């Protein structure tokens, strides 16, 4: 009987030890739930289209999995990827956020996303020239702006059709006329006022300004 018990004793002892280690490893691995704030990436936008709706650039993910795996997760590794390649023309398209557009590793479960869906509107990309209007501030007392010239006088905008069509002109940054150089020439920048509309070229401008005495005032000798 004793001989039967001691036969292959070393192998039996190894098996018991291995089983014990596996049990301790498994019992020590708890399943936890955590959250990640991840970036949203919009890919394969058709060249003739623009996103005209407000762009959501971040999503909150609630994920569940073993604590060692969760501890190694980095939000930078798992962006939400929205593929616009199937979009054929202007319109509204809704994306539901699930494992298909979140590349979580095996063993990690996506419980939910906040928001759970992202809806975007696409419009035809258009370009249009608009005039540039200068803005002045702090006109010296007793003077007025008698003339001005902006170079170039017009700039080309590009963006979603409805946004571009809504802009009749663009304005420069306010130019402080108290600091106007003697030659009356300053550099300034134009501003669209719409984050979804861009300039085709750099919006750096040259502004030439002439001041003259205001009515009822004469220039001191």
Q: Per-residue confidence at 217, pLDDT binned at 50, 70, 90? A: low
Extents of the domains making up the chain: 30-115, 125-213
Q: Give 142 or 29, the one with higher predicted confidence.
A: 142
Domains 30-115 and 125-213 share a fold: yes
State yes or no: pLDDT of 20 exceeds 70: no
Topology of domain 125-213, CATH: RNA Polymerase Alpha Subunit; Chain A, domain 2 (2.170.120)
Across the range 184-212, mean pLDDT stands at 95
Q: Which ranges in the chain belong to alpha helices (H)?
A: 2-6, 9-28, 67-71, 161-165
Which tokens hold the place of 150? 């902006």
- CB 164 within 8 Å of CB 50: no
DSSP-based three-state secondary structure for 173: strand
Rounded to whole angstroms, the Cα distance separating 65 from 109 reads: 6
Residues 6+ apart with CB under 8 A from 114: 59, 60, 61, 62
Across the range 101-126, mean pLDDT stands at 92
Share of the chain above pLDDT 90, in %: 63
pLDDT of 16: 55
Q: Give 65 or 73, the one with higher predicted confidence.
A: 65
Of 2-16, 31-45, 66-80, where does mean pLDDT reach its minimum? 2-16
pLDDT of 23: 43
Among 169, 210, 209, 173, which residue's Cα sits nearest to residue 188?
173
pLDDT of 28: 47
Which tokens hold the place of 108? 């990690």
Rounded to whole angstroms, the Cα distance separating 53 from 195 reads: 11
Which tokens hold the place of 131? 């005039």
Phi, psi of 5 (to 5 degrees): -75, -35
Q: Give 219 or 156, the one with higher predicted confidence.
A: 156
- Give CA 61 to chain center in angstroms: 18
pLDDT of 221: 40
Q: Which ranges in 29-138 belong to alpha helices (H)?
A: 67-71
Across the range 94-102, mean pLDDT stands at 92
Among 162, 187, 183, 160, which residue's Cα sits nearest to residue 173?
187
- Each residue's pLDDT tens digit, 30-58: 788 888 889 999 999 999 999 999 999 99
Cα-based distances in Å from 9 to 13, 61, 188: 6, 51, 88
Q: Give 6 or 120, the one with higher predicted confidence.
A: 120
pLDDT of 211: 92
**Residue listed under structure tokens 């994306």:** 95
pLDDT of 27: 45
> Model pTM?
0.72
Across the range 86-90, mean pLDDT stands at 92
CATH, range 30-115:
2.170.120.30
């Amino acid at each position: 009987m004793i001989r039967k018990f001691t036969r292959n004793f070393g192998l039996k002892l190894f098996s018991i030890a291995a089983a014990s280690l596996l049990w301790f490893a498994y019992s020590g691995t708890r399943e936890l739930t955590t959250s990640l704030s991840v970036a949203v990436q919009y890919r394969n936008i058709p060249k003739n289209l623009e996103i005209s709706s407000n762009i959501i650039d971040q999503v909150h993910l609630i994920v569940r999995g073993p604590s060692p795996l969760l501890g190694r997760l980095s939000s930078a590794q798992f962006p939400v990827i929205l593929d616009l390649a199937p979009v054929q023309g202007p319109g509204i398209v809704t994306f539901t956020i699930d494992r298909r557009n979140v590349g979580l590793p095996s063993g990690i479960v996506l419980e939910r996303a906040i928001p759970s869906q992202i809806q975007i509107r696409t419009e035809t990309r258009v370009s249009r020239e608009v005039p540039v209007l200068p803005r002045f501030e702090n006109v010296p007392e007793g003077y007025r702006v008698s003339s001005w010239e902006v170079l170039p006088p017009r700039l080309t905008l590009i963006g979603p059709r409805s946004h571009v069509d809504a802009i009749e002109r663009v304005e420069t940054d306010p130019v402080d006329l108290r600091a106007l150089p003697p030659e009356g020439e300053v550099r300034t920048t134009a501003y669209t006022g719409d984050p979804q509309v861009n300039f085709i070229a750099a919006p750096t401008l040259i502004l030439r300004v002439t001041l003259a005495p205001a009515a009822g005032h004469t220039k001191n000798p």
